[in-house]
Amino acid sequence: MQGYARHMVECTTRLVERLSKEVGKGGGEVEIGEEMHQLTADIISRTEFGSSFEKGKELFNHLTVLQRRCAQATRHLCFPGSRFLPSKYNREIKSLKKEVERLLIEIIQSRRDCAEMGRSSTHGDDLLGLLLNEMDSHKNKNNDNNNLQLIMDECKTFFFAGHETTALLLTWTMMLLADNPTWQEKVRDEIREVCGCDGLPSVDQLSKLTSLNKVINESLRLYPPATLLPRMAFEDIKLGDLIIPKGLSIWIPVLAIHHSEELWGKDANEFNPERFGGKPFAPGRHFIPFAAGPRNCIGQSFAMMEAKIILATLISKFNFAISKNYRHAPIVVLTIKPKYGVQVILKPLDS
């Protein structure tokens, strides 16, 4: 993880330098959502694909559009078999899926060719390289197609864990801190105490940023990246008085659970990070942070490390407040997004 953390720090430092020049000493308005999407795309492209990060960016652009089209398609009238009809959305979705897989296969094949021609003894130490190295260590030629599909699926999973959901987490957290200056200053003081004056955290220091962790958890509670969780029962199970038969699909209403007054109290819709400070609320009881299954656990830990490094760096370098141009309008497009962006006023702290 140390190598990945280095990429995160380098990319975030470049962003800080650029934003500092753009807003000047007196500060200026920034649409932080777009900045977070660009930053996390840069980070995940480099950590997942290494030297092929430019193709990785192209891939992520296609995946972002694909996500948007799939969300739009769900708003239209559906009936059995409608997904096979050559509608506008179905044609575009099919085309985007093909392009995503073409790019992934191209990147994977290029990495394999380098290893086979002796240019490299391994497939690399980025995320894709680790997946390919692991696949080679358990190579079964009869399952090559299955292994390739598995790797492509994992690459897509890391996109959503390390890019889309993390960018949204960062955006909503920045908005909440901009609107709650007391907590912003509290987190900033903690970062300086733990990480020193430069505010650049090491991997070992992240667990010591307890106030930042509370804020992240509360941000995820209020604006969970996944509003619904689909799950399928692999065997007959009993939940309270409910009998769920094997093969039944279940939809878990994450957003409703996270805003339930019965579970969280009368202030369930308010920003209160102290609810994660200990009893009576433990994060695991009524809280689904990244709404990830077992196969996503690596991506989830990667995303949390990424979010903490980026937030710690930005909070230590800038003071930020909500812009008068900000319009609070969360919408659900598979994930919870700000419809009109999140405009904040950034002011460098060294001015």
Cis peptide before 280 (omega within 30 of 0): yes
State pLDDT tens for residues 68-92.
777 666 555 555 555 556 667 778 8
- Strand order through the sheet with 318-322: 28-31, 343-348, 318-322
Q: Which domains does the chain have, with CATH numbers?
A: 2-348 (1.10.630.10)
Return the minimum-mean-pLDDT range out of 70-84, 117-131, 296-310, 318-332.
70-84
- pLDDT over 60 (residue 125): yes
Cα–Cα distance between 349 and 25 in angstroms, integer? Answer: 9
Displacement of CA 258 from its chain's centroid (Å): 18
The predicted model gives 311-329 an average pLDDT of 96
State pLDDT tens for residues 268-290.
999 999 999 744 344 445 666 65
The predicted model gives 180-202 an average pLDDT of 91
pLDDT at 140: 55
The label of the residue with tokens 């699909």 reads 249
pLDDT at 175: 98
State pLDDT tens for residues 137-179.
766 555 666 777 888 887 777 766 667 888 999 999 999 999 9
Task: Give 294: exposed, middle or buried? Use CB within 10 Å, 0-12, 13-18, 19+.
Answer: exposed
- Residue 297 labeled ligand binder: yes
pLDDT at 281: 43
High-pLDDT (> 90) share of the chain, %: 41
Q: List Cα–Cα distances, 270 to 84, 166, 171, in angstroms.
A: 44, 22, 17
Q: List Cα–Cα distances, 330 to 92, 173, 212, in angstroms.
A: 26, 13, 23
DSSP string, 226-269: -SEEEEE-SS-EEETTEEE-TT-EEEEEHHHHHT-HHHH-TTTT
pLDDT at 313: 95
Burial of 188-206, coded b for 16+ CB within 10 Å and e otherwise, reads bebbeebbeeebbbeeebb
More confident of the two residues 308 and 132:
308
The predicted model gives 303-330 an average pLDDT of 95
- pLDDT over 90 (residue 211): yes
State pLDDT tens for residues 8-46.
999 999 999 999 999 999 999 999 999 999 898 888 877
The phi and psi torsions of 243 (rounded to 5 degrees) equal: -105, 120
pLDDT at 299: 56
Answer whether 158's CB lies under 8 Å from 48's CB: yes
pLDDT at 121: 60
Residue 12's region, left for phi above 0, alpha for psi from -120 to 50, else beta, is: alpha
Cα–Cα distance between 159 and 64 in angstroms, integer? Answer: 9
Cα–Cα distance between 173 and 167 in angstroms, integer? Answer: 10
pLDDT at 4: 77
- pLDDT over 90 (residue 63): no
DSSP 121: S
The predicted model gives 225-246 an average pLDDT of 88
Return the minimum-mean-pLDDT range out of 209-213, 228-232, 268-272.
228-232
Residue 118 pLDDT level (bands cut at 50, 70, 90)? low
pLDDT at 86: 64
- pLDDT over 70 (residue 298): no
Residue 47 pLDDT level (bands cut at 50, 70, 90)? confident
